[in-house]
């Protein structure tokens, strides 16, 4: 399977604990995105990377959230001191490099299956 | 900044009936437009996208959408739906530029009645 891979798919944690999610993008995709989705809502943008550089962060990404992509390949999203309001599905996505094929890719992003977080 | 409004949170239709899911966007610059589908407990799958050219875009599973610049709309249509089309549908927009995030609407739940 050469799609976007996320791990774990499901995580139940107690309030106050730290959790980390991992995302492996499609190979050769240099851009990687994190979104959060709660029930009945569309995905909300959290942050994105181009290679290893974190180019944009949403105001939704509080100080308890940190994302890294140290080698420009896989990425991790860590949530410290989890709160019940953090319960959501965390979606990772990737997209190919902008360049000669931009007109074809058109910033299309490809999503993983998501990681469900339940904070109890 | 770009934004997307999906006018209907839920659309119930009978099997084999036609359906239209409405989407309006707002942007001060040129944009790309997308429709994604999400089946229960899964990630999002691209249905179709408008980049440029013909305003009528055909996607997977028999869906199509029409870009209307004057009305800033990108409505999704299917002439005859199937039970398997039951899912959440998201309209999305991104700025026509290098490396830009995609903004999603709040979604429309399509439920098909037999």
Q: Say what the pLDDT of residue A59 is.
A: 86
Query: To the nearest whole number, what is the mean pLDDT of chain B?
Result: 91
A24 touches chain B (CB under 8 A): no
User: With 90 as the cut, is the pLDDT of residue A2 above it?
Assistant: no
What does the block give as tokens for A84? 């019940």
Q: Does the distance separating the beta carbons of B52 and A111 come in below 8 Å?
A: no
Q: Helix (H) and strand (E) counts for chain B? A: 0, 12
Residue B38, pLDDT > 60, answer yes
Which of A19-23, A94-98, A104-108, B75-79 comes out lowest in average pLDDT? Answer: A104-108
For residue A101, pLDDT beyond 80: no
Per-residue model confidence as pLDDT tens digits over A48-99: 999 999 988 998 888 999 999 998 899 999 999 999 999 999 999 998 876 6
Predicted pLDDT at B94: 85
CA dist list (Å): A103 to A4, A14, A55, B28, B49: 22, 45, 22, 20, 12
The confidence score (pLDDT) of residue A14 equals: 97
Pairs of CB atoms within 8 A across A/B: 61
All residues of chain B having their beta carbon less than 8 Å from the beta carbon of residue A50 are 99
The H or E element containing residue A104 is: helix A102-105
DSSP structure class, residue B61: G
pLDDT tens profile B48-65? 999 878 889 999 999 999
Q: Which residues of B touch A (CB under 8 A)?
A: 4, 9, 32, 34, 36, 42-46, 49, 51-52, 90, 92, 94, 98-107
| Four-residue CA torsion sign, B97, B103, B107, B112 | positive
State residue B56's pLDDT score.
94
Mean pLDDT of B10-16: 96
Point out the residue among A55, A91, A114 whose CB comes nearest to the CB of B99. Answer: A55
* pLDDT of A100: 42
Cβ <8 Å between B43 and A56 = no
Residues 99-118 of A with CB under 8 A from B: 102-104, 106-114
């Amino acid at each position: 399977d050469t799609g976007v891979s996320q791990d774990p798919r499901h995580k139940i944690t107690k309030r106050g604990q730290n959790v980390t999610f991992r995302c492996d993008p499609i190979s050769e995709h240099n851009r990687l995105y994190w979104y959060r989705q709660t029930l009945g809502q569309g995905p909300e943008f959290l942050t994105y990377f181009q290679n290893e550089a974190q180019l944009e962060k949403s105001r939704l990404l509080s100080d308890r959230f940190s994302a890294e992509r140290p080698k420009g390949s896989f990425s991790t999203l860590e949530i410290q001191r989890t709160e019940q309001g953090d319960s959501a599905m965390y979606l990772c996505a990737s997209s190919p490099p902008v360049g000669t094929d931009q007109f074809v890719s058109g910033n299309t992003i490809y999503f993983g299956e998501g990681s469900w977080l339940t904070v109890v | 900044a770009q934004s997307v409004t999906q006018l209907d949170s839920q659309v119930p239709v009978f099997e084999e009936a036609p359906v239209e899911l409405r989407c309006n966007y707002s942007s001060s610059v040129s944009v790309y437009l997308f429709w994604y589908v999400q089946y229960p407990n899964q990630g999002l799958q691209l249905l179709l996208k408008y980049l440029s050219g013909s305003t009528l875009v055909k996607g997977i599973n028999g869906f199509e959408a029409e870009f209307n610049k004057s009305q800033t709309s990108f409505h999704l249509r299917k002439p005859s739906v199937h039970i398997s089309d039951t899912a959440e549908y998201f309209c999305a927009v991104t700025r026509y530029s290098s490396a830009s995030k995609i903004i999603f609407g709040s979604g429309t739940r399509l439920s098909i009645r037999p």
